[in-house]
Amino acid sequence: MQPTIVSLHRNADHTFSKDSVEEFVLIAGVGVEGDAHAGATTQHLSRQKKDPNRPNLRQVHLVAREVHEGLLADGFDVPGGGFGENITTRGLELGELPVGTTLRLGTDAIIVLTGFRDPCAQIDRAHEGLRAAVSFKPEVGPMLFRNGVMAMVVRGGTVRVGDEIGVALPTEPHQPMQKV
């Protein structure tokens, strides 16, 4: 199955979830046009307090639709955009991709994966117990998260619901995802 974009989301305000849209523009080095988290430096409020000049490794947030479906089977009804993601995908195991993987979205836009989104306390305010449901510790390695991965925009362009996603792995050795 060719990986595809099943929904797109953005919000100009710093809210937990994002509104659905049919298309948006990605801006190189910035993120999703019109989204509160767009910027060359960190836009996440908690991270701004620590270091407002830190590069924004979290310009675009992606979650696989399969994660939403798995959580629904566990009793958590999290709609697209409900994790605050900008892009909901289908057919792509985002969390298994290494850091530095590039994704071509549609015909023009290219993003590079930077790491896992770590689930913050807001996630339990939205759905009690969801933070534990998306966090797990394998026998070997760091804590893993099922609430999405973060990326930076390498090449901008318009992205639409239904666009195909092309995947290019970085050169080896591959670095596993860590939280960013």
Q: How far is CA 125 from CA 17, 82, 84, 129, 178, in A?
A: 12, 12, 13, 9, 24
Q: Write down the residue that tokens 């390498």 correspond to.
A: 154
For 180, the token pair is: 């960013």
CATH code of the domain covering residue 95: 2.40.33.20
Tens of pLDDT, residues 82-119: 888 999 999 999 989 999 999 999 999 999 999 988 76
Residue 30 lies in a domain: yes
Residue 174 lies in a domain: no
Tens of pLDDT, residues 10-67: 999 988 789 999 999 999 999 999 999 999 998 876 776 788 889 999 999 999 999 8
Residue 128 lies in a domain: yes
pTM: 0.91
Residue 173 lies in a domain: no
**Total tally of structural domains belonging to the chain:** 1
What domain range is 93 assigned to?
Answer: 4-168
Residue 138 lies in a domain: yes
Residue 178 lies in a domain: no
Residue 176 lies in a domain: no
